[in-house]
Amino acid sequence: MRFILLGAPGAGKGTQAKQLIEKYNIVQISTGDILRENVKAGTELGKNAHSYMEKGLLVPDELIISMIEGRLVKSDCKNGFILDGFPRTVAQADALGALLKKMGLALNACVYVEVPEEDLIKRISGRRVCNGCGESYHIHFNKPKTEGICDKCSVQLIHRKDDHEDTVRNRLKVYHNETHPLLDYYLKQGIVLKIDGTGEINDIFNRIVAGLEAGKGK
């Protein structure tokens, strides 16, 4: 099983990815993780990437693709993978397609978890994080026992700037502007699986599995 997982911030991709990894015995591949691993290991690719990162520049697509190729040949990818956070652009999707073709692989699906924007804003803007241990809470869905105080270490909870409503709306605007061309790209290939991302976590998971096994994931 090989697929891309798309969804706006707050759509619950991380939660679903954990269950899908266990279900299909596959790995989750994050470009951020790959970059950090290569930089830490001091690989030639990592050194090249670091030279861009320390200048505050984006790492070129060709370096990212080379790192992904190095990751895909590892034995734990034999059953498949979930790509999370890549590709982000049509150019990256083209490069990924060329790489997979060279490796004799193909994507089974592009899973797109859809959640109404107002629901996303409610999910993200309601987050509260412990300033001590980092434990996460939510003012609607996962309240602490004492308002504003962490259950684990009794430290004050904070509302991160990235989670303020105005910031969230801007993040969603940027995401949709970047993602729609990519979604159209995979729609033309006939591999997009749109999933209703509202409701209980297990219900969403079951929708993804049913969609994959009904055709997109075979």
Q: How many CA atoms, within 13 angstroms, populate the side-chain half-sphere of residue 115?
A: 23
**Cα R_g (the chain), whole angstroms:** 19
Where do we find the tokens 């049509």?
Answer: 90
Asked whether the CA dihedral 66, 182, 124, 171 is positive or negative, the reply is positive
Active-site residue list: 13, 88, 127, 160, 171
Residue 86 · residue 68 · CB < 8 Å:
yes
**Tokens standing for residue 190:** 């006939």
Taking the C-alpha atoms of residue 36 and residue 31, their distance in angstroms, rounded to an integer, is 9
Residue 126 · residue 105 · CB < 8 Å:
no
